[in-house]
Amino acid sequence: MAPDDHKKGFQVEEEEVGTPESSLTPVITNETRRSQQLETSETPETVAQLQKLPTARSRRDSHMGEALEHLSRTLSVNQNGNTEDDLEKVNSRMERTGTRPSARYPSPTRMSDLDEEAGSPAFKAQGVPPELGSFTAEVIFILVCSAGLLLYSFFLGDITVNQEECKRALGISNSELPWLIGSFTLPLSLSVVVSGSLNDLSPPRTLMIGAFTWLTVWNVVGVFSVTPSRAILFYIVRAMQGLAVGVLVSGSMSILGRIYTPGLRKNRVFSAMSATAPFGFWLGGIQGGALKSYLNWIFGSNAIICALCLAAAWFTMPSLRPVADIVGGDAPTIREFDFIGASFIATGCILVLFGLTQGSVVMWAPYTYALVVVGVLLVIAFFFIERWVKRPLIPNGLWKIKGFTPLMIAYFIGYGGFQGGWQFYAVQFWLRIQQNSPLTVALYLLPNAIVGVLATWVVSRTLHIVPGHYIYLTAMIAFATGPAFFLPQTPNTPYWPLSFPGVALVTFGPDLSFAAASIYITSNVPRSYQGSAGSLLVTMQNLSSAVMTAVADAIGTKVDQGPDGNIGLKGIHAIWWFALACEVVAALITLTWVRIPKEEEKEHVT
């Protein structure tokens, strides 16, 4: 059957099957009523306007005609030999009609433009770094890197709450108590200064695994050192702890700074690491308070913890090599390590810290002054040496960043007033003046851990939205709340009215300031300087703590020293007044000179 016959057959069949229109009973539906109403309501003018509207077919034909017209014009331009600039002059339909491009379904390439138009920060989603492979591996890796800062606070907390027990167990006098902490922080300062650059110039995995091994071994030795006849061994063990922890802290800063480029993910990672500091101090206090009658088991449990960290680091720490700051450039090597500068700054820090710590022990004998003066001169000489070496320990350009020097000065005064002027003597107040047990003191520090985590979470969520100097100023004000809430206290003051809010609020100080400063510093140095930049901040912490502790001890001793050599309540109040003054000065410096821009997604500086 021919096609025409086929169609004709269908027509005939339809006519035969169809029912005459006259035989149908009309059915009136709602749709029929609406149609009738529209027909009756339409005026001639309305019908004329509707007839002018293009149908879907007419619009399609119009678009096809415009496309053919555009194609013919383009071909004619090509045949005439016009340049690409002439092609760009051919207007599109949207340009001719004035129609705006639809942004309902923007393409991926337009997303950043839309974000900028909307005024929102154009952050790109940073995924799991390729060196780690999976999110689970990333979480374990961050925990291992954070272990350095956690152990730093942990080893301070377990001894700080047990000052009186250690004094009796080791048979030392009150004047020698500063060395319980000083024997740990002094070698730590030496280690941080040197290992910061070493981690940048060599595989940090090797150094960090070696540091965990070192810690495990020396904590086992520490189990046998808590006796009067082995007091020197006790101080040696504390020194070995400080050396290893310094390597861990600078190594973690180097690795994290290398793997994570500046941006939102880095903010969260560094904030998470900062949260371990207050949490570690509280955990150390709980451990020390629970084991006050078994001090040797403080070192035994520390050895177990370090062994677990060693195992985790062995399986999760990536094998990183030194990297070049410029694509195609040569990666730095260990031969470029600044041995001269390292020797000057390390020796200078040791002399300053030793002189300040020993000064309170020997009533500031002349040789302690001499040690401090020589140490300061060596530190000054270090800064002159760094101007001429090929690869300085700390990039010289860092000091030229606007607001960086005031930031470090404010951090020195603010953190020093907190650590050396308030926290150490707050523990003394609870232990000696209010006669609380070490475990009770550790429980008093619980807000330190909880609020510390909250503070670092705030930094991770706001540093890319709010300029960093506002967060930094908040930290300096928070530092001042510690002595402000403790100054009115007496031996009978309950914990909840003043101590609790004081401990909770002051915790924002170290956590906000360290997170904001560490992110700012590591984001403004090349990848090959991440460890060195991070070590600068930790070195500043140790120096400020030693200096402020020495000054605070001199003030307290001058105001109120008892027959047993202990500082009385009036002396502690004088120290807290000094700490409050330091925090006010730090806040004024921050308000006047410190400027930290909002964090943004970018590559490492070169």
Instruction: For residues 375 and 402, state if they share a domain.
Output: no
Out of 156-170, 332-346, 529-543, the most confident range is 156-170
Our count of domains for the chain comes to 2
- Picking from 278, 286, 184, the residue whose alpha carbon sits closest to that of residue 482 is 278
Instruction: For residues 546 and 458, state if they share a domain.
Output: yes
Query: What is the domain extent for residue 370?
Result: 338-390
Instruction: For residues 473 and 535, state if they share a domain.
Output: yes
pLDDT of 220 above 90: yes
Domain stop point among 390, 412, 434: 390
Instruction: For residues 384 and 512, state if they share a domain.
Output: no
In a domain, 487, yes or no: yes
pLDDT of 16 above 60: no
pLDDT of 84 above 90: no
Instruction: For residues 141 and 163, state if they share a domain.
Output: yes
Instruction: For residues 351 and 462, state if they share a domain.
Output: no
In a domain, 219, yes or no: yes
- Per-residue model confidence as pLDDT tens digits over 199-218: 888 888 899 999 999 999 99
- Per-residue model confidence as pLDDT tens digits over 155-190: 999 999 999 999 999 999 887 888 999 899 889 988
pLDDT of 260 above 60: yes
pLDDT of 230 above 90: yes
Question: What Å distances lie between residue 219 and 179, 214, 299, CA to CA?
Answer: 18, 9, 5
- Picking from 245, 241, 247, 243, the residue whose alpha carbon sits closest to that of residue 205 is 247
Instruction: For residues 496 and 380, state if they share a domain.
Output: no
DSSP code per residue over 323-378: --SSTTSPPP-GGG--HHHHHHHHHHHHHHHHHHHHHHHTTS-HHHHHHHHHHHHH
Instruction: For residues 278 and 422, state if they share a domain.
Output: yes
In a domain, 38, yes or no: no
Question: Is-contact 583 479, C-beta < 8 A?
Answer: yes
Domain stop point among 363, 390, 417: 390
Region 228-255: mean pLDDT is 94
How far the first Cα of the chain sits from its last, in Å, is: 81
Instruction: For residues 279 and 400, state if they share a domain.
Output: yes
Share of the chain above pLDDT 90, in %: 47
